[in-house]
Amino acid sequence: MTIAERQAEIIDEFEMFDDWMDKYEHIIELGKDLPLIDAAYKDEDHKIRGCQSQVWLHAAPEGDKLRFTADSDAIITKGLISLMVRVLDDQPAAEIANTELSFIEKIGLHEHLSPTRSNGLRSMVKQMKLYGIAQAAQQNAQANG
């Protein structure tokens, strides 16, 4: 599935919920299900500092793709992270770099990306894209070199 298809799938999934609390119930479940990041990566180097909650992110190249694992100390943040990972994990670096992540807004959770929340999520999305840009640039350099 492409990034766009994965986003569409999540939007579909969230259409079932018309109550806020049901939506959050689902996010909390996703948070609980998120495969844990390797303990070795849960360190200062991989930490994305938020004011409210902390996020850890690890990225590893696999061919022209990037694999992501992540974690947070807050379960709702973790649930949202799991959605980000679901969309961007195992996708081509160039696409990660260029994609517009619109699904968060479409499922009504845009507030969690607001700077006033300062939960680490906004910086995490930025960081994932930076990994994408860096990896894509490296691949380009190799292809041309």
- The CA angle 47-83-120, to the nearest 5 degrees, is 30
Position 53 contacts another protein (CB under 8 A) = yes
Kindly identify the residues of this chain, within the stretch 31-50, that bind another protein according to CB under 8 A.
none
Q: Does 99 bind another protein (CB under 8 A)?
A: no
For the question of residue 74 being annotated catalytic, the response is no
- Strand, helix or coil for residue 120: coil
# binding residues, another protein (CB under 8 A): 15
* Cα–Cα distance, 78 to 121 (Å, whole number): 9
Pick between residue 17 and residue 134 the one whose CB is nearest to another protein.
Answer: 17
Among positions 8, 11, 17, 24, the unique one binding another protein when judged by CB under 8 A: 24
Q: Of the listed pieces 23-31, 37-45, 62-70, 94-102, which binds another protein according to CB under 8 A? A: 23-31
Q: Which listed residue (1, 36, 51, 137) is catalytic?
A: 51
114 lies in the binding site for another protein (CB under 8 A): no
Which amino acid, 4?
A: A
The residue (of 52 and 138) whose beta carbon lies closer to another protein is 52
Residue 4 CB coordination number (10 Å): 14
Q: Smallest Cα–Cα separation from 37: which of 1, 89, 76?
A: 89
Report residue 97: phi and psi, to 5°: -65, -35
Q: How far apart are CA 23 and CA 97, in angstroms?
A: 29
Pick one of 119, 127, 131, 135: the residue that binds another protein (CB under 8 A). 119
Check residue 76 for interaction with another protein (CB under 8 A): yes
CB 112 within 8 A of CB 74: no
Q: Which residues are catalytic?
A: 51
Residues that bind another protein (CB under 8 A): 20-21, 24-25, 28, 51-54, 73-77, 119
